[in-house]
Structure 1
Amino acid sequence: MASQLNPYISFSDNARQAFQFYREVFGGNLTLSTFGEFGQTEGGDLIMHGALETDKGLHLMGADTPPGMERREGSAITVSLSGDDPELRGYWDKLSSGGTVTMPLEKQMWGDEFGMCVDQFGVPWMVNIAGDSAPKQ
């Protein structure tokens, strides 16, 4: 297997809901393991490891912050989606719905359509649709 780079996001007791939302956005196969499944009684139903893998080759991983560990809101990570796949616009629509658009998805000076949002779970996203796939304005 070739090397992969996977975003890994820490959540605050809502990883299950976040991953179910991301599966609705991207589709794919979702696996969730709880702390309880590995014998930990504290935080038993919290997600120890979650992984979403799509048919398009997208990978997203994450977990709830373990009990007793500190978590700071996610300004240290932004997940970037880019390419020429027409599905990128649908991903944008779903990710930004219920969240906050920090930069509207619009044609940029470099010829692509680009936007930024923070989803309903506080995770920042950037979406860049390549110029040939971006709608003409």
Structure 2
Amino acid sequence: MGSQLNPCITFNGNARQAMEFYRDVFGGDLEVGTVADFGSPDSADGDRVMHARLDTAAGYTLMAWDIPDDRPGHPPYRPGNNVAVFLDGDDDELRDCFEKLSVGGTVTLPLAKQVWGDEAGSLVDRFGISWMFNLTSR
């Protein structure tokens, strides 16, 4: 089967909303399971997402979860400060994804031709997640 590397983004109670937004941007199939779904129905965290996975037709897999409020030893929640999701390719759909992700967020580098010949841009979406794009020249 081999190995896969899939980003898994941590959220603070809004993983479901973020993943539904990403499904609207990228399309695909979304599965979401809460803490209660995984066997802890009496937990105060019962509605929080324990596991979410978005598989897109383009072959992307994006995963997410809500950090529990009382997770001992886990660093405090800080969105987007240590990872960026990087999308690279020659597909014009990436331009559309950039525009959709920027709604309600902050474009930190507008999509523009760069010194290496490709178009690149970056943004922080409305959930505080950093995204980087590189649109390869054809």
Q: Same fold (TM over 0.5)?
A: yes
Runs (4+) of structure 1 exceeding 4 A deviation are none
Point out the more displaced range, 115-124 or 2-11.
2-11
Per the alignment, residue 128 of structure 2 pairs with: 122
The alignment of Structure 1 onto Structure 2 pairs a total of residues equal to: 132
Question: Which residue identity is paired with 1:4?
Answer: Q
1:24 aligned counterpart, secondary structure: helix
1:76 aligned counterpart, secondary structure: coil
Q: In percent, how many aligned pairs have the same letter? A: 52
Per the alignment, residue 88 of structure 2 pairs with: 82
Assess if the C-alpha contact under 8 Å between 1:47 and 1:64 holds in 2: yes
Cα distance in 1, alignment partners of residues 39 and 59 from structure 2: 32
Per the alignment, residue 18 of structure 2 pairs with: 18
Question: Which residue identity is paired with 1:73?
Answer: P
Per the alignment, residue 3 of structure 1 pairs with: 3
Assess if the C-alpha contact under 8 Å between 1:42 and 1:67 holds in 2: no
Runs of 5+ unmatched residues, structure 2: none
Assess if the C-alpha contact under 8 Å between 1:53 and 1:59 holds in 2: yes
What RMSD over aligned residues (CA atoms) do the two structures have, in Å?
0.9
1:30-69 mapped onto 2 (5 Å cutoff): 30-40=30-40, 41-69=43-71
Task: State the TM-score, normalizing by the size of structure 2.
Answer: 0.92
Cα distance in 1, alignment partners of residues 28 and 79 from structure 2: 26
**1:74 to partner: Cα distance:** 2.1
Question: Which residue identity is paired with 1:68?
Answer: D
Cα distance in 2, alignment partners of residues 27 and 45 from structure 1: 24
1:117 aligned counterpart, secondary structure: strand
Assess if the C-alpha contact under 8 Å between 2:111 and 2:120 holds in 1: yes
